[in-house]
Amino acid sequence: MTCFLCLQCGVQFAAKETPPQHCPVCEDQRQFVRWEGQAWITPQELAAGHRLLMRDDAGVLGFGIEPRFAIGQRAQLVQTPHGNVLWDCVSMVSDEAVAEINRRGGLAAIAISHCHFYSAMACWSEAFGGVPVYLHADDRQWIMRPHPSIVSWQGETFALNPSLTLVRCGGHFAGSQVLHWQREGGNALLTGDTVQVTPTRRYVSFMYSYPNQIPLNAAAVRRIGAALEPFDFDDIRGAWWDLNIIGGAKAAFNASVARYLAAIA
């Protein structure tokens, strides 16, 4: 039995003897099936041709796969006095990554912005003794590999510990969530692509579908703005390497909401 990974989105599926016929994540209008057709890869095949890269990204340890695999996101280790949390996830885990995280105090939990980054979340959880994986209940239908570690929380905010709060923003997906990190030296907001840092690294933007270029409607963007209004943050840390706004991020976010709404009016 093998937990196959979708070659296009990198999401891992429940164990089967043969690959699934379809990937619902890619068949959804927010993603797409490869032009060559649906394809799968085993964890062993992925490890044979790729490696897990660990490196600093603006002061936070990140994890990504190289050569680039699937959507190409990177995960981040959020270190707090109350326990460490892996934010977002990638499709492979390594002994070196586990050792480095344990050297930094271990892992208390995993939290993931939305289903495009669910990837190998069960493998990461198992590598740390089955730590909980926090996903919003509104995205329950997109879990392709059910696992005892998954916690489907409900509501608008959820405190992981005194330093970390999950905030349901919706938008990209109904259960899209971000992570607010209260810390000395400046609070941060980890957003996946619910709030997408643009290449200028001075603004953010919003989309219903990035690859299919479907914009997010005004009501959804206003809702994201309202959900984040109570939170102060100096930095926004995006979903890909080096796509961060370091300093002045709350003002940049507010300006970006206004700019986006004006553009689609």
For the segment 223-247, what is each residue's pLDDT rounded down to a tens digit? 999 999 999 999 999 999 999 999 9
Residues 6+ apart with CB under 8 A from 31: 8, 9, 25, 116, 209, 211
pLDDT at res. 61? 98
> Percentage of the chain with pLDDT > 90?
99
Q: How far apart, in whole angstroms, are the C-alpha atoms of residue 263 and residue 265?
A: 6
pLDDT at res. 2? 96
pLDDT at res. 89? 98
pLDDT tens digits, residue range 83-111? 999 999 999 999 999 999 999 999 999 99
Place of tokens 């971000």: 178
Ordered structural domains, the chain, with CATH: 5-264 (3.60.15.10)
Q: How far apart, in whole angstroms, are the C-alpha atoms of residue 217 and residue 195?
A: 14
CA atoms within 13 A on the CB side of 164: 23
pTM of the model: 0.96
Q: Which residues of 235-258 are buried (b: 16+ CB within 10 A; e: fewer)?
A: bbbbbbeebbbeeebbebbeebbe
pLDDT at res. 83? 97
Task: Determine the residue type at 2.
Answer: T
pLDDT at res. 224? 98
